[in-house]
């Protein structure tokens, strides 16, 4: 990386900018609506950011390595359905959850194997597995949601862990694990290197396939955890659950500063981005703004974020814009 | 290999052609201004509105400017946009305010619940909900109940058993009788043909309104000894699937006399298939929902009939019910029925301005 052309703009980390936007937006909403800055509502915002953060953790790891996983929404739905079927078959809460999480690991393994061993394009592989898994959810349920679970299970979606929603604690744990993996493990180091220059890594004798597969397994795992949260929150495993969630996950990761070209990413930034999107949606609903504008605004914000991060990296690399 | 490719190509071209024709027809006719018959404009709608208001007597009077929130399934579907119009017009009429919201994505069960939870944390006096599934809004309705915010259901209700378990209360419910819709459509076919073979094209298996329409239609046909159902097929609400089903049905049963479709989109596909097979004159087709395209088709003498419910009155009824609850009036009916009507070539003129 050439460091000839550093302006003061480049010294501020993008995460700090994102955080400032989050604080400003929250302050603005607090001033503008008396209902925003109430504990009940803040709890809500936390709860609502959890899915994006859980999905976003796995997605960040995969995108950092130069890959993508479009199947996460479908994986979450399937994991929830497996849990629901196991619970209705009389299995205990723990084994049922383990079965669901194992589903996520399994499809992560399949995605990773196709991408790393067969050397197929991750976009196409996960697009195909998204369709396959969505098909499985419909076959398993006959398109009828499975519902009615014990309080023990529902705790994972709508319960409290101390003053916080359980879901927020789950999301915090997942994000923390993701940060540890990305920043302090060999897997994290190699995944960043994979996204930077895969060929160089391979030539230096690193078994890139193993690390790639591990990343997709982790991504499948986070999707299954999201499936647990969704199913327990709604008290219902719905074959259409998590529909288009992969897009939200990608948006959260990218908004948080992960480069779509791979090689750079931040779990901390992703968490701030998840919170920012939740605050934004909450604020729009608080002001009674129609859902049309929510989609429009989310898209615009992501576009601006990508533009800003591209400008920075180009000027840092000494390229003209 | 080449032959297969050529065949696939030919089919593609054909499909695009069909889609194009269908699209053009819709687009070409959509902007055409309603040309009402001299005195009949809005007649059917006014009729239906009177009927609904009668069932809601005594009508409430808002003693203060209540703030009401309405949470719909989606705003990316014309049906729900018309419901929104009903909410907003009724709010104006009764001197209250309403904010109409929806899940940002259709079928997004989780974000619809999130939206409801946010609504509950605001200062609304009452909430009208139209849940995507019977279960997804239960936790949010329970939150509202805990905060003593009355909730009414519009179109779809939450599951009563799950609601009772979660201490979630729905104070009133307005919807349309989907089974009656099936009966009306099938009854029209039975009357018209007297006797013979019929078929049913249902919607997506498992969807509540589709199942109810199919049940109504099936019972009506089966109650008539002169009529024989030769096939019940799932068209998944899809025009192309319905087209293919109808094309095969008419091959297998050259003497088929009627096809009941659970919505208009599928009925439009069936009409095209029958036209292509040269059998439109022989087979009576009915749809459901009375979309603009169906109206034009009925006027042109192609589609034989459609069954309409009034999304506008869903919204209006929702506001009135919310006000009744807020003003402490008793809710006499478990379910308030928004009227349904059958439209064919003879009465289609009176359905100008139906909403």
**DSSP class per residue in A88-132:** HTT--HHHHHHHHHHHHHHHHHHHHHHHHTS---HHHHHHHHHHH
How many DSSP H helices and E strands does chain A contain?
13, 4
pLDDT of residue A270: 96
Instruction: Report if residue A4 sits inside a domain.
Output: no
Strand segments (E) across B61-148: 67-72, 97-102, 126-129
Give B135→chain A minimum CA distance, Å: 7
Instruction: Report if residue A7 sits inside a domain.
Output: no
- A208-234 vs A39-64: helix axis angle to the nearest 10? 160
Backbone angles phi, psi at B48, to 5 degrees: -65, -40
Instruction: Report if residue A92 sits inside a domain.
Output: yes
> From CA B10, how far away is CA B285, in angstroms rounded?
28
Question: In a mutagenesis test of the B interface, which of A35, A234, A284, A286 is the best target, namely the one with the most B β-carbons within 10 Å?
Answer: A234
> From CA B100, how far away is CA A246, in angstroms rounded?
27
Rounded mean pLDDT of chain B? 86
Give B262→chain A minimum CA distance, Å: 18
Provide mean pLDDT across the span B221-242: 90
Contacts of B133 in chain A (CB under 8 A): 145, 236, 238
- Residues in contact with A93: Cβ distance below 8 Å, sequence separation at least 6, in sequence order: A87, A150, A152, A153
* pLDDT of B102 higher than 60: yes
Look at strands B196-202 and B256-261 and give their pairing.
Answer: parallel
* pLDDT of A36 higher than 90: no
Strand segments (E) across chain B: 67-72, 97-102, 126-129, 151-154, 172-175, 196-202, 227-234, 256-261, 284-288, 305-309, 336-337, 340-344
As given in the structure block, the two tokens for residue A132 are 């396959």
Q: Are A71 and A126 in contact (CB under 8 A)?
A: yes
DSSP conformation class of A136: H
Q: Are B207 and A238 in contact (CB under 8 A)?
A: no
**Residue A290 at interface with chain B, using a CB cutoff of 8 Å:** yes
Residue A49: domain span: 15-23+33-312
Instruction: Report if residue A9 sits inside a domain.
Output: no
Total domains, chain A:
1
Provide mean pLDDT across the span B238-246: 88
List domains and CATH numbers for chain B: 5-176+310-338 (3.40.50.2300), 178-308 (3.40.50.2300)
* pLDDT of A321 higher than 50: no
Per the CB < 8 Å rule, is A51 touching B118? Answer: no
Instruction: Report if residue A280 sits inside a domain.
Output: yes
pLDDT of residue A13: 77
Number of other CB atoms surrounding residue B41 within 10 Å: 17
Per the CB < 8 Å rule, is A285 touching B101? Answer: yes
* pLDDT of A199 higher than 90: no
* pLDDT of B40 higher than 60: no
Pick the more confident residue, B214 or B36.
B214
Per the CB < 8 Å rule, is B136 touching A48? Answer: no
Instruction: Report if residue A292 sits inside a domain.
Output: yes
> In this predicted model, what pLDDT tens digit does every residue of A241-273 receive, in sequence order?
888 889 889 999 999 989 888 888 899 999 999
CATH number at residue A154: 1.10.3470
Of B339, B235, B293, residue with least CA distance to B78: B293
Angle (CA) A46-A259-A172 rounded to 5° is 25
Q: Are A298 and A305 in contact (CB under 8 A)?
A: no
Instruction: Report if residue A109 sits inside a domain.
Output: yes
> In this predicted model, what pLDDT tens digit does every residue of B173-230 receive, in sequence order?
999 999 999 999 999 999 999 999 999 999 877 677 888 999 999 999 999 999 999 9
Provide mean pLDDT across the span A293-302: 81
Q: Is B2 left (phi over 0), alpha (psi -120 to 50) or beta?
A: alpha
Instruction: Report if residue A1 sits inside a domain.
Output: no
Q: Which of A186-190, A289-293, B121-125, B329-333 has the lowest mean pLDDT?
A: A289-293
Give A44→chain B minimum CA distance, Å: 7
Hey, CA dihedral for B266, B271, B274, B275, is it positive or negative?
negative
Rounded mean pLDDT of chain A? 88
Per the CB < 8 Å rule, is B135 touching A290? Answer: no
* pLDDT of B12 higher than 50: no
Backbone angles phi, psi at B223, to 5 degrees: -70, -10
Interior/surface letters A188-202, b for 16+ CB within 10 angstroms, e for the rest: bebbbbbbbebeebe
Torsion of CA B111, B117, B121, B123, to 10 degrees: 90
* pLDDT of A100 higher than 90: yes
- Residues in contact with A145: Cβ distance below 8 Å, sequence separation at least 6, in sequence order: A236, A237, A238, A239, B133, B135
């Amino acid at each position: 990386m050439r460091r000839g052309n550093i302006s003061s703009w480049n010294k501020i980390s993008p995460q700090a900018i994102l955080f400032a936007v989050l604080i400003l937006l929250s302050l603005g909403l607090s001033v503008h609506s008396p209902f925003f800055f109430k504990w009940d509502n803040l709890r809500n915002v936390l709860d609502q950011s959890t899915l994006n953060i859980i999905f976003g953790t796995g997605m960040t790891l995969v995108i950092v390595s130069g890959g993508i996983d479009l199947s996460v929404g479908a994986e979450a739905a399937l994991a929830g359905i497996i849990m629901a079927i196991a619970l209705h078959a009389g299995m205990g809460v723990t084994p049922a959850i383990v079965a669901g999480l194992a589903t996520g690991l399994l499809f992560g393994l399949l995605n990773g194997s196709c991408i790393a061993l067969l050397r197929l394009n991750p976009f196409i592989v996960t697009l195909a597995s998204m369709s396959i898994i969505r098909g499985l959810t419909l076959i398993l349920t006959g398109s009828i949601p499975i519902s009615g679970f014990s309080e023990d299970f529902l705790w994972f979606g709508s319960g409290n862990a101390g003053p916080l929603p359980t879901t927020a604690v789950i999301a915090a744990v997942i994000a923390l694990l993701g940060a540890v993996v990305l920043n302090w493990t060999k897997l994290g180091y190699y995944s960043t290197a994979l996204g930077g220059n895969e060929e160089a890594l391979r030539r230096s004798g690193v078994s890139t396939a193993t690390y790639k597969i591990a990343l997709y397994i982790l991504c499948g795992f986070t999707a299954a955890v999201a499936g647990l949260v969704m199913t327990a929150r709604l008290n219902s495993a719905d074959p259409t659950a998590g529909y288009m969630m992969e897009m939200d996950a990608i948006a959260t990761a990218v908004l948080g500063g992960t480069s779509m070209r791979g090689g750079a990413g931040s779990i901390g930034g992703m968490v701030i981005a998840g919170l920012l999107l939740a605050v934004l949606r909450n604020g729009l609903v608080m002001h009674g703004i129609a859902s049309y504008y929510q989609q429009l605004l989310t898209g615009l914000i992501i576009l601006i974020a990508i533009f800003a991060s591209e400008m920075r990296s180009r000027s840092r690399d000494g390229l003209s814009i | 290999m080449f032959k297969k490719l050529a065949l696939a190509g030919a089919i593609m071209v054909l499909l695009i052609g069909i889609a194009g024709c269908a699209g053009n027809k819709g687009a070409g006719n959509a902007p055409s201004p309603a040309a009402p018959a001299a005195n009949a404009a809005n007649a059917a709608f006014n009729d239906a509105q009177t009927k609904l208001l009668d069932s809601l007597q005594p009508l409430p009077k808002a003693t203060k400017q209540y703030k009401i929130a309405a949470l719909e399934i989606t705003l990316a579907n014309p049906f729900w946009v018309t419901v929104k119009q009903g909410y907003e017009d009724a709010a104006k009429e009764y001197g209250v305010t309403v904010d109409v919201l929806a899940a940002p994505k259709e079928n997004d069960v989780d974000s619809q619940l999130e939206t409801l939870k946010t609504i509950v944390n605001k200062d609304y006096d009452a909430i009208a909900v139209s849940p995507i599934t019977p279960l997804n809004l239960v936790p949010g309705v329970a939150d509202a109940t805990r905060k003593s915010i009355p909730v009414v259901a519009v179109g779809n209700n939450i599951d009563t058993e799950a609601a009772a378990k979660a201490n979630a209360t729905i104070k009133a419910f307005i919807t349309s009788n989907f089974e009656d819709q099936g009966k009306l459509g099938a009854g029209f076919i039975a009357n018209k043909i007297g006797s013979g073979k019929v078929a049913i094209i249902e919607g997506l298996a498992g969807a509540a309104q589709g199942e109810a329409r199919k049940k109504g239609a099936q019972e009506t046909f089966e109650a008539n000894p002169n009529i024989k159902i030769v096939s019940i097929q799932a068209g998944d609400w899809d025009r192309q699937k319905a087209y293919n089903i109808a094309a095969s049905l008419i091959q297998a049963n050259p003497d088929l006399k009627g096809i009941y479709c659970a919505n208009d989109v599928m009925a439009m596909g069936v009409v095209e298939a029958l036209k292509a097979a040269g059998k439109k004159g022989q087979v009576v087709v009915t749809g459901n929902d009375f979309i603009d395209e169906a109206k034009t088709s009925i006027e042109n003498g192609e589609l034989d009939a459609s069954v309409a419910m009034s999304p506008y009155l869903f919204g209006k009824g929702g506001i009135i019910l919310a006000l009744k609850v807020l003003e402490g009036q008793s809710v006499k009916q478990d379910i308030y029925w928004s009227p349904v009507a059958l439209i064919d070539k003879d009465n289609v003129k009176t359905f100008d301005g139906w909403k």
